[in-house]
Copies of this chain bind each other. A is one copy, B any other.
Amino acid sequence: MVLLVHHTLSPQSRKARIILAEKKVLFVLRQEEPWNMSADLKKLNPAGDLPVFIFDGNIISGNYAVTEYLEENYPEPKLLTGDFKHRAEIRRLCDWFDRKFYTEVYQYIIGEKVFKRFKSGLSPDSKILKAGMNNLKFHMEYIDWLAERNNYLAGSEISLADITAAAHLSILDYLGDIDWERYKNAKLWYSTIKSRPSFKEILKDTVKGIYPSQNYQNLDF
């Protein structure tokens, strides 16, 4: 059995799900709460990272190892495409979202609105939320600028950069935190990614106690 241990609010888990769907790998999902990880998974995966990809007794842990493993071992279709320059640009943008966007936006907004509530039942700190929303504007402007230059973030074809960015944005979009009307190029780009068959399962995700925003599942938002 090919198993992906994930959480619906983990952007790196969403990224792995989209990559697997693009590469047409069949897999089963098992959800784990990152703040309440089961002892057996913690033992296999001491950093407590998600996603974890398990098959035939092999365990591949965490975003970096899983992403590069899938690209090396399921080369069709390639998502790290082109010459060394293009590959470096794709990886730079993946890093932008997985590290910069994650720290400056995700941890502030999703950390306060969702994880804090699940973990401690406390209300979000409005100062942290506001800082996260301000950072989100900067990142949306950057995506808008990238999408204006090309059809896709790293060039004329879809790549890991688009999948990584869309995985992150989809979580904020679930909560309705993105003001798409202000970012026309980003909106057009996201609607293209969202319409891909590999995104279909992502749009069915639900989070206990939180309804998706009106636009979340809408391909023509």
Contacts and interface: CB of A to CB of B under 8 A. Distances in A.
Interface class of chain A by DSSP: helix
A92 interface: yes
Contact of A72 (B61, B87, B96, B142): B87
Number of identical protomers: 2
A26 interface: no
Interface residues of A, number: 28
A87 B68 contact: yes
Contact of A96 (B47, B66, B84, B91): B47
A94 B58 contact: no
A65 B91 contact: yes
Contacts of A94: 64
Nearest to A90: B65
Contacts of A62: 91-92, 95
Contacts of A87: 65, 68-69, 72
A123 interface: no
A84 B69 contact: yes
A47 B95 contact: yes
Interface in A34-65: 46-47, 49, 58, 60-65
A129 B121 CA distance: 28
A85 interface: yes
A120 interface: no
A60 B62 CA distance: 23
A88 interface: yes
Given A94-B64, A142-B46, A88 B69 contact: yes
